[in-house]
Structures are given as structure tokens and as C-alpha cells.
Amino acid sequence: MTMSQEMSMPREGGLIGRYRSLLRMADRLPLSLVQLAGRIAVAHVFWQSAQTKIASWPVTLQLFALEYNLPLIDPAIAAPLATLAEITGAVLLFLGLFSRVGALMLLGVVAVIQIFVFPGHWAEHLMWSSVLLLVLARGAGALSLDHLAASYFHRGA
């Protein structure tokens, strides 16, 4: 809706008018800003998790061997794979570079955590997954290296 269309519309007073005004303001919020905030928030969670694993590697190996009980994979292999996936996914999301690949990697990590490690923490996992699914479905947004690369390669074609 253009500014002239908004001005020609009759103003509603009261609570409904204020509510609609708030909705119009929210409609102006750029999706890329939402994507950026979500990417940074989720990247931070997984970056911190990986840093904790690295900082106390012997404890990490014990947790994978005794607590997490992942089927079909040796804890000595699962621990470094999980840590690598968290670091790589977090960096890709933060930079918005190959962000859909990073989101897919971290969705895999979340699925393993939800199914095998902490099934009771579904609300937190759902929150992370929501942001990761947004990035997977819509990309990293205009504030990303993916967007910059797409602009560069599109211009050159």
C-alpha cells in the first residue's frame, strides 16, 4: 500500500485503529532483518555448545559414551562429528554463506538431540528448528554473503 492510499483511507479511532496501525508498522519490518536476527541467535547457541565441548574434551567424550547413548555410532566418532557440525553450521549461518547448507546441518543436529539425547526439551528444539526452517525455506536474506554472491554472479551472467 502506498502512502497516498494510506492517507486516503478513513482513519479508525480507538483500540481497533491503534491495532491496525501497529500491524501496518509491523508489515514494514524487513524480512531480512528477521532472518539476520534469527541466524545470529541460533548460530550463537551452537557456537557456544561447540566451544563448551572443545574446552573440556575428556568430559565431552564421557558424555557421548555414557549419557547420550547414540545408536549405531561410536562415541569417539560421534563427539567430533557433532562438534564439527555445530562449528561449521554456526559459522555458515552467522556469515549467511551457504546458509541453507548450514541450516540443514544444524537441523540434523537438533533432530539427533531431540530424538536421542534430550527429548524433553522439545520446546527449545522447536524454537531453533523454526529459525533454521525459515533459513532453509527462504535463505539468509539480503544481509548475507549468500545475497552478495548471488548479486555478483547474477550481474556477471
Q: Quickly list DSSP for 29-62.
A: S-HHHHHHHHHHHHHHHHHHHHHHHHHTHHHHHH
Give the structural domain span for 136.
31-156
57 within some domain: yes
- Residue pLDDT, tens place only, 21-52: 999 999 999 999 999 999 999 999 999 999 99
133 within some domain: yes
User: What's the rounded Cα separation, in Å, for the pair 145 and 136?
Assistant: 15
11 within some domain: no
2 within some domain: no
61 within some domain: yes
The pTM of the full predicted model, rounded to 2 decimals, is 0.85
Looking at residue 157, its pLDDT comes to 57
Half-sphere exposure (Cβ direction) of 40: Cα atoms closer than 13 Å: 9
User: What's the rounded Cα separation, in Å, for the pair 107 and 132?
Assistant: 7
Tally of structural domains, the chain = 1
Q: How confident is the model at residue 154 (pLDDT cuts 50, 70, 90)?
A: confident
Looking at residue 3, its pLDDT comes to 54
9 within some domain: no
- Residue pLDDT, tens place only, 68-126: 989 999 999 999 999 999 999 999 999 999 999 999 999 999 999 999 999 999 999 99
Chain center to CA of 84: 17
User: What's the rounded Cα separation, in Å, for the pair 124 and 116?
Assistant: 15
